[in-house]
A = this chain, B = another copy of it.
Amino acid sequence: MSVPKFAQIKEFILENIRSGAWQENHRVPSENELSNQFKVSRMTARRALSELTDAGILTRSQGLGTFVASFKSQSSLLEIKNIADEVKARSNHYSCTILVMESISAIAPIAIALGVEVDSHVYRSVIVHNENEQPLQVEERFVNPALAKDYLQQDFHSLTPHEYLSQNAPLTEARHTVEAIMPNQEMCEWLNLYNEEPCLQVIRRTWSSQGIVSFARLVSPGSKYRLGGHLTFKK
């Protein structure tokens, strides 16, 4: 079978939405109507509707019917990719410089972000990620030592901290915020910025089932780095 029946029905529905024939909240044919129309079983028609619902394109409610989802409910998304992969994808040379690997005493804001006691010791690393030997991003990371005992013994030239941590303590959740900031003196030196320029700062906290694993601050010059996103009606 070249193209499965359930896929044909999905395409039929998507085409009606794309053409504008079925606007937001328009009622789409029921499972029974589709199964008669396309001469398939109800389960096959159901599969088409279910998959489009999972994709956020339709909404269903028991007893009422199936409807075209309102665009508002479709969130516009931005992806945060692994920086090493991103550089390599542009077929440029990736390298990194490890500036700091230490165990420090956690001041209040860091202790709170990591969910540990104030003044308990935590690991801290500062790494500069380079694209063709030019600094692209500074990664300052604080790590909960209870969940990654041998963090300071790692060689992060071969494996990024994020890769190491996600292998060690399976990730269950992550939160991000993105801001525009002005870098301080130290950050300017790390990034080789002679003239002050605005930077994009991503703060990322990651959880595993045992608690907060790490807290990272990723800073990139506004002129060299941007985040990209993409939203589409799935085909």
Judged by a CB distance under 8 angstroms, whether A90 is at the interface is: no
The answer to whether B80 touches A229, judged by C-beta atoms less than 8 angstroms apart, is: yes
- In the bound complex, residues from chain B placing their C-beta under 8 Å from that of A178 are 78, 178, 200, 226-229
Q: Which of A107-115, A137-145, A148-156, A167-175 contacts B (4 or more CB under 8 A)?
A: A167-175
- In the bound complex, residues from chain B placing their C-beta under 8 Å from that of A79 are 75-78
Q: Mark A151-187, 1 if CB is under 8 A from B, else 0.
A: 0000000000001001101111111111111100000
Per assembly, the copies of the chain total 2
What count of chain A residues pass the 8 Å CB interface test? 53
Chain B nearest CB from A94 CB (Å) reads 15
Q: With CB as the reference atom, state the residue of chain B lying closest to A76.
A: B80
Q: With CB as the reference atom, state the residue of chain B lying closest to A220.
A: B180
Q: Which of A18-26, A58-66, A117-125, A126-134 contacts B (4 or more CB under 8 A)?
A: A18-26
- In the bound complex, residues from chain B placing their C-beta under 8 Å from that of A81 are 75-76
Q: With CB as the reference atom, state the residue of chain B lying closest to A182.
A: B198
Judged by a CB distance under 8 angstroms, whether A29 is at the interface is: no
Judged by a CB distance under 8 angstroms, whether A11 is at the interface is: no
- In the bound complex, residues from chain B placing their C-beta under 8 Å from that of A80 are 75-78, 229
The answer to whether A174 touches B222, judged by C-beta atoms less than 8 angstroms apart, is: no
Judged by a CB distance under 8 angstroms, whether A101 is at the interface is: no
Chain B nearest CB from A33 CB (Å) reads 22
- In the bound complex, residues from chain B placing their C-beta under 8 Å from that of A200 are 178-180, 200
Judged by a CB distance under 8 angstroms, whether A209 is at the interface is: yes
- In the bound complex, residues from chain B placing their C-beta under 8 Å from that of A91 are none
- In the bound complex, residues from chain B placing their C-beta under 8 Å from that of A172 are 18, 232-233
- In the bound complex, residues from chain B placing their C-beta under 8 Å from that of A24 are 167, 170
Q: Name which of A51, A81, A181, A208 has the most chain B CB atoms within 10 A of its CB.
A: A181
Chain B nearest CB from A119 CB (Å) reads 29
Spell out A's residues near B (CB within 8 Å): 17-20, 23-24, 51, 54, 71-72, 75-82, 85, 163, 166-167, 169-182, 197-201, 204, 208-209, 222, 226-233
Can you list 16 contacts pairing A with B, beta carbon distance less than 8 Å? Answer: A17-B170, A20-B170, A20-B208, A71-B170, A72-B85, A78-B78, A78-B80, A80-B229, A175-B228, A177-B226, A179-B222, A179-B226, A179-B227, A180-B181, A182-B197, A198-B222
